Structure 1
């Protein structure tokens, strides 16, 4: 509320203690409203927040009940709007971080730059505790983690065949392959996206200690974007990749 009733200048102010904030007594409010009978006509938005009983005996009038319902609905709508605003701000921050990472990937001049950009951004900017970028190829390159395509299919074939980003609680052998046996014990939930463009080139996995953080229904739009860009950027910097069909 922007406009609050102010006590007249001559009205004494009740101080509970020296240096404390002045408190406005009920008598001062009553006096002000008597001197300003059109106050609520000029500030009718306050009426929805006031509680004014309108009772006859033990019954409650329809007017009071309607006002209560409207007041409750107004509070609920405010909460919903606040939640939507929070989601919008979170999405703005995610979009900005994703945009910077994608630009870094497009500007990368080597496979080492690509790997470093992904891992540094996810750990430092996105604050992801567990990050795993695995590239598939018959011959490993000196940069990044490489595995044989057959071994990948055997370990996480179900994730690779999904054709979309998967999130939730993975099986132990899938976590072992993605994060290693030691880190797997700390991963509560994870999200996995394939690097798939004219053939399967790798997988990008992120993990959290919170079992509920990456739920099966969580949105993975931004992770999918990053994986799509990687699927196009990685093959530019190496000749060792072999498509996995």
Structure 2
């Protein structure tokens, strides 16, 4: 049984339809890339999975359970951890407090997160609003991991970060994959995203237009669906 399956999902913002039959699937331990140009429905798909947008048609099943109709906090407690676009750390809490406030379960601990991101250990007593953008992204990932998610969702994993910080984030994603963490990741850095992904799903105007292995996403398809 797949960990997450979307089938024919249609979502709206009031009267405006944003998703037109989106389908995708994630198996346990897979890293799946959700791709597409800006405004093609990637964040809406994530919001639909998490109950922040309620689909009007289709099915979203996680670990065999239908998510439609559940409230976002109930969905999160089933084992979905989100690293949102824009990070959204708690600015007036320290690094340590940001991590501990999300703690649930015992697999991911403060020590394990700071082992994955040593910078967070060095800055554990600093307030989140004093961190660089890259450090805040590390904190956002660490905070999501502290919920001990079965599925980690990264929305724009490295957008706007300096190259050296992007490399740190991708190194962490590779370590998470090696440890068997299931991940759904949105990112535009194809040179880093494609090698770590087991499968890719591409959205065009709110619909799934490609589903397959990264090596099947030819340069021609990349130009057609992902080029500027």
Q: Per the shorter chain, which TM-score range?
A: under 0.3
Structure number, greater radius of gyration: 1
TM-score normalized with structure 1 length: 0.21
Query: Is the strand fraction higher in 1 or 2?
Result: 2
Q: Which has the higher contact order (CA 8 A, sep 6+)?
A: 2
Query: Is the helix fraction higher in 1 or 2?
Result: 1
